[in-house]
Amino acid sequence: MKKKIIAVASIGGHWVQLLRIVKPLEADYEVVYMSTHPKCKSMVGDCRFHSLTDFSRWDAWKMLPASFCLLGIFLKERPTAIVTTGAAPGLLTIVLGRLVGIKGIWVDSVANVQTMSACGKLARKFACRVYTQWPNLASGQVRYAGNIFGD
């Protein structure tokens, strides 16, 4: 039986990056995808997909219903790990996952060249592993292992 990973990202660039990073893992893991727009389901083939409410710091009140949704998905799917490229919904998934014992991996967006994203900075406190896609942003807590474009 393959270990299960939940792969979550907001629609747009975060989603595209997540697919490039996680798709190759489907050979060795059962991947369950989550995103903030139902049309993303069409991009994951036969893998299971869950929709998640989108929110940001400007409408943070939406985190409460999203939290209940996430906890239900965790109970249903029983993942071993969470992989996310952000943004806020990915961070919430990492935080709640940590609270219930699910390991989290944060990959900061390739768009963040000069500094880590705000969510990425917070993810350092909750994720088991945090990656940047730029070598100049690596530090003790943040690792560099390449980017989606290749080195």
Mean pLDDT of the chain: 95
% pLDDT > 70, the chain: 99
Q: State residue 88's pLDDT score.
A: 96
Class (C level, CATH) for 4-144: alpha beta
pLDDT band at 151 (very low <50, low <70, confident <90, very high): low
38-54 pLDDT tens trace = 999 999 999 999 999 99
**Burial bucket for residue 64 (CB in 10 Å: 0-12, 13-18, 19+):** exposed
- pLDDT tens column, 71-99: 999 999 999 999 999 999 999 999 999 99
Q: Global pTM?
A: 0.94
Domain range annotation of the chain: 4-144
Percent residues over pLDDT 90 in the chain = 89
Q: What is the mean pLDDT of residues 114-129?
A: 96
Q: Where are the beta strands (DSSP E) in the chain?
A: 4-9, 30-35, 49-51, 81-86, 103-107, 129-132, 142-144
